[in-house]
Amino acid sequence: MSGARFSADWLQQREPFDTAARDEAARHLQLAARLHAMAPPAGTPWRVIDLGCGTGANQRWLAPRLGGPQQWLVVDHDAALLHGWPSSASGPGFEVASVCRQLDLARHLDTLPWHAAHLVTASALLDLVSADWLQRLVSHAVAARAAMLFTLNVDGHHEWDPADPLDSTVDRLFAQHQRRDKGFGPALGAAAVPALRRALQGSGYRVFSAASDWRIHSLESAHAGALQHALIDGIAHAACEQEPAALAALEAWRQRRHAQAASGRLRVGHVDLLALG
């Protein structure tokens, strides 16, 4: 998975917005009740595989909601992101033991201990992967009859306020750029969640989904303003890579967006998916 790398600074910048989005989705998914219903027997730890674990935001959010003793296998291709992982963590009502594994998920997905997992999870991963890789994932998880929770998957929607005449063009180019190969083959982008839903329902899983949108209003905090500026630059850069001939128009869009960001709003669409066998 050499094509997609995310800095620790970016992961830290987005984490508060991820948390708020996941909290909202969890309510609609009835996540607490559904996790409680499938919990291992008393005294048996949850066994969790976390794919593309980054610096641990997924575990920090999910472990308190799972509760009880937990054993996590956390997997990422980036040794720098894994470097700071603690071997254990605890809080009110839960205790986690973690094992880190540096692994290229594009090449070595098959080597994970699928048969041992109660739950397979990932955050902001599915839109990076190809249809073939997704089918491999489904085959392993279904064979183990593991539950799955995949959060913060892009759905392709952006809502800018105020609107700009070039928004639809920028969004189209950005969506095309998201379908480029990120190290797993041609990426699914916003098509990932529908593809996963079809595959899992075809394998007899019950599949639930809920919106987990980022809602970013620069007036609410300096963090929101900084994230909006970072997203403007990232989206504009991707659009320019996708259509270099439109560089001048896209740069003008970027400058207008930065000028509006101090009071502007942005909704970035995401979807969380929970699958139970």
pLDDT digits (tens, 9 = 90+) for 95-104: 999 999 999 9
d(CA 197, CA 188): 13
The string of DSSP codes covering 87-155 is SEEEETTEEEEEEEEE--HHHHGGGS-GGG-SEEEEES-GGGS-HHHHHHHHHHHHHHT-EEEEEEEEE
**169 falls within a domain:** no
Residue 72 predicted with pLDDT over 90:
yes
**246 falls within a domain:** no
Q: 188 lies in which domain range? A: 8-156+183-215+267-276
- The total domain count for the chain is 1
**164 falls within a domain:** no
**96 falls within a domain:** yes
219, 223, 226, 232 alpha-carbon torsion, rounded to 10°: -80
**14 falls within a domain:** yes
Residue 187 predicted with pLDDT over 70:
yes
**53 falls within a domain:** yes
CATH number of the domain that 31 lies in? Answer: 3.40.50.150
pLDDT digits (tens, 9 = 90+) for 118-157: 999 999 999 999 999 999 999 999 999 999 999 999 999 9
Q: What is the pTM of this model?
A: 0.93
The reported pLDDT for the residue numbered 3 is 44
Q: Contact 149/272 with Cβ under 8 angstroms? A: yes
pLDDT digits (tens, 9 = 90+) for 12-67: 899 999 999 999 999 999 999 999 999 999 889 999 999 999 989 999 999 999 99
Total count of residues recorded for the chain = 277
Q: Which of 225, 220, 212, 211 is nearest to 259 (CA)?
A: 225
Neighbours of 12 (CB within 10 A): 12
**261 falls within a domain:** no
**60 falls within a domain:** yes
